[in-house]
Amino acid sequence: MSVERSKLRNGLTVVSHAMAEVETVSIGIWIGAGSRSEALGEHGVAHFLEHMAFKGTARRSAKDIAEEIEAVGGDLNAATGVDSTAYYARVLRKDMPLALDILSDIIVSPRFERGELARERDVILQEIAAAMDSPEDIVFDLVQEAAFPDQPVGRPILGTVESVSRFKRAHLGSYLSAHYHGPNMVLAAAGAVDHAALVAEAERRLGSFDTESTPQPESALYAGGARRSDKPFEQTHLVLAFQAPPYRHAEYFTAQICAGALGGGMSSRLFQEVRERRGLCYAIYAFSSGLSDSGMFAIHAAGGPDRAHELFAVIRDELVKAADQGFTADEIARVKAQLKMGLLAGLESSSARAEQLARQILIHGRPLSTEELIERLEQVQAQHLQALVERMLGSPLSLATVGPILHVARFDRVAEKFTVPSSRAA
């Protein structure tokens, strides 16, 4: 695998993977700071900054940025997460310098023009309004708040109407200068890329970022709790969650396999029991998400308001069954095969590969080989999964519901009995 890595004089990491017989290149700049790096008065500023980066620089207007990348058939986008922010593009091989020039321009010298800031504020307010029309978006914001109350990681990435309405140019500039530093940034590319040429371009265009260290974000402290919204929707959305291993923890892959076995596809336990056998919902799934210092294992389902208590009870029973009896060898083998497939499929997509490399650098400080990742999966055994479920059931439950619940008393009784005795989880 032709992965190459270099470091600029200012500490910025450049990593690339040349992919044979590919004529395009996916390239992006990842910053190791996202919404969790915001101070209380900055809620939503990381996402606002990501939007405003495309709204004009010292050398380009917002229209220039769009026209230049599309004139060569390329595309340009960005995303804000809890732990990171990314700006990325995909272009033909010959247009890599242009893509990097635009990507660097929008974060090195954004203009933050007042008219554009006002217009983009309205766009983000519409994005927040759209999220409030989505029961799935609402329920995940609520469970995040329940799991990590009064903390940056427990707040919505988009911010609120109140916080976004307060932002001025100084807020954006302050966040950028505090968190966009060379040692906290990764330039990643995959596809038709020449590493030496990429490093040379990076030195020219990204060398101005300083070598200062970035402030550490507030620690994530999992607490657990319940949040409920009675906003009217046709279905009741339910998410229950537990504390899970952070992404650097040895049990991170155990949690991924556990999520797959419980709710990772049509053959998973929850899908078979909840949908196929009982018809309680259309879709149900589980996942485990990691942060640098904590994590959350979550199960999401949506069903009729009159059967929400039954849906919750069946999920509880399946989790207790997994803690009592564990998983079969066939279940574990099936999930491992699914995860391996995902890893290998990612190698065939230049955009997925560039993102994978960047995240590995930010998380682990180095690229991880596919062989190493598969070996970590293979090391997970049945007893590891069972022990993890036992510990999760012994941790505080985070519960969020959106929509009506017709039998609230019965639902609450299930919630009260959900956690197994702490002595068994010890």
The CA–CA distances, whole Å, from 359 to 34, 95, 169, 191, 353 equal: 13, 24, 29, 17, 10
Which of 108, 111, 110, 153 is CA-nearest to residue 12?
108
Catalytic residue list contains 23: no
Residue 294 has φ and ψ, to the nearest 5°, of: -160, -170
Sequential DSSP letters for 41-75: GGTTHHHHHHHHTTS-BSS--HHHHHHHHHHTT-E
Task: Please give the C-alpha separations between residue 71 and each of 61, 65, 89, 300, in angstroms, as whole numbers.
Answer: 15, 10, 13, 42
Using an 8 Å Cβ cutoff, are 223 and 396 in contact? yes
How does DSSP classify residue 215? Answer: P
Which member of 50, 201, 251, 390 is catalytic?
Answer: 50
**400 and 239 Cβ atoms separated by less than 8 Å:** yes
- DSSP-derived pairing of the beta strands 398-402 and 225-229: parallel
Nearest residue to 403 (alpha-carbon basis) of 279, 227, 280? 227
Question: CA distances (Å), 10 to each of 31, 32, 182, 358, in order?
Answer: 14, 15, 5, 17
- Pick from 204, 203, 152: nearest CA to 179: 152
Active-site residues: which are they? 50
